[in-house]
Amino acid sequence: MGFPETRMRRLRSTPSLRRMLAAPAVPPARLIYPVFLIDGAKRREPIASLAGQARVSIDMLEQELLPAAEAGVGGVLFFGVPEDKDPGGTGACRDDGLVQQALRVTAKAYPDLVRFTDVCLCEYTDHGHCGILKGRELDNDLSIEALGRMAVSHAGAGAHVVAPSAMMDGQVRAIRGALDAAEFKNTLILSYSTKFASALYGPFREAANSAPAFGDRRGYQAPYDDVNQALRESLLDEEEGADMLMVKPAMFYLDIIQRLRERTLLPIAAYHVSGEYAMLHAAAEKGYGDLSGLIREAAVALRRAGADFILAYWAPEWRKHLG
Ligand SMILES: [Zn+2]
């Protein structure tokens, strides 16, 4: 039956009806807050391209995480950005490394936050690529061994979830093997399983100082114009033993999230990346849109597409955006 018997506007005709029929708001527990860690003391360096975000030294971390903890955010994801780098990224496994220290601080100060760590070598290598080079080529199999060692080091320092983001083949299997061999059988793996070679990572590269010294990452990150490769990447990681999958970036990839949702029973994360955050902020700043409205709409879209949880720079302010 169509118009005039059917009138869609009846369903939305009063605030009470709209409220009654609305989907529940995305709870803060579904949000993970990414945090960048730097060397030194008493340092809080604002990231110009990521409004409100900063890189912090370990002594500032407890204070930095307070708003997220008070907001009831689900967890934090740590990126170490040390000054000391070498070709093999060996600093990634130091027991007194930035991520390792941050895990201990967080476990003590905010035990309810789920502790995620980014597992990738690009912030630790002097060439800025995500693994170990042989000549000017990235050696996949050497790299995944190094990622396994890094994951074990993070687990030993108290990570609940290690999150490999290097897009090396076999990295999830190698990390699961390394964790199990070291008796970290309960440490989860959130694979950045479908991570696209995207133009939306610009502000992150400023935050993490991780632009490669030569070349780019298209040799390992997924091409955004190939749906089949994108899905295979995630499904292979599930086979390798990932506990959770991720699509990154988020807003341009709702179709990928939805298609993946139809093919897996694992939890799916969506990473609302730096360039997406910057776009919304820039629009709001220019008066082209309301920031809270933009962020709310993005969050609902990601959930609607099938994401179970969202990695987002706006996580600590979520309640404010909900209004
Ligand atoms: Zn990387």
Instruction: Give the Å distance between the CA of 218 and the centre of ligand 1.
Output: 12
State both tokens at 120. Answer: 């990738």
Instruction: Give the Å distance between the CA of 92 and the centre of ligand 1.
Output: 12
Which sequence spans correspond to the domains of the chain?
A: 27-322
Helix (H) or strand (E) holding 192: none
- For residue 212, pLDDT beyond 90: no
Q: Which of 108, 248, 286, 320 is catalytic?
A: 248
- For residue 85, pLDDT beyond 90: yes
pLDDT digits (tens, 9 = 90+) for 152-173: 999 999 999 999 999 999 999 9
- For residue 202, pLDDT beyond 90: no
**pLDDT (0 to 100) of residue 223:** 95
**pLDDT (0 to 100) of residue 204:** 81
311-320 average pLDDT score: 97
pLDDT above 90 covers what percent of the chain?
91
Distance CA 233, CA 162 (A): 18
Distance CA 283, CA 50 (A): 13
Instruction: Give the Å distance between the CA of 130 and the centre of ligand 1.
Output: 4
**pLDDT confidence band for 102 (50 / 70 / 90):** very high
How large is the C-alpha radius of gyration of the chain? 20
174-202 average pLDDT score: 96
DSSP, residue by residue, 23-49: PPPPPGGGEEEEEEEESSSS-EEE-TT
- Measuring CA to CA, which residue among 209, 220, 221 is closest to residue 98? 209
CB 120 within 8 A of CB 93: no
Q: What is the pTM of this model?
A: 0.96
> Phi/psi of residue 295, each to 5°?
-70, -40
* Residue ranges with CB less than 5 Å from ion ligand 1: 120, 122, 130
- For residue 216, pLDDT beyond 90: no
Q: Which of 185, 195, 286, 320 is catalytic?
A: 195
Instruction: Give the Å distance between the CA of 84 and the centre of ligand 1.
Output: 16
> Which residue did the predictor score with more confidence, 218 or 161?
161
Instruction: Give the Å distance between the CA of 119 and the centre of ligand 1.
Output: 8
68-95 average pLDDT score: 96
Instruction: Give the Å distance between the CA of 140 and the centre of ligand 1.
Output: 13
Distance CA 206, CA 215 (A): 17
State both tokens at 323. Answer: 């209004």
Distance CA 226, CA 246 (A): 17
CB 287 within 8 A of CB 268: no
- For residue 108, indicate whether it is catalytic: no
Instruction: Give the Å distance between the CA of 126 and the centre of ligand 1.
Output: 12
**pLDDT confidence band for 308 (50 / 70 / 90):** very high
Distance CA 111, CA 24 (A): 27
* 299 Cβ contact partners less than 8 Å away, ≥ 6 residues apart: 26, 310, 312, 318
**pLDDT confidence band for 89 (50 / 70 / 90):** very high
- For residue 195, indicate whether it is catalytic: yes
CATH superfamily of 27-322: Aldolase class I (3.20.20.70)
Instruction: Give the Å distance between the CA of 11 and the centre of ligand 1.
Output: 48
The angle formed by the CA atoms of residues 74, 77 and 82, to the nearest 5 degrees, is 155
N residues, the chain: 323
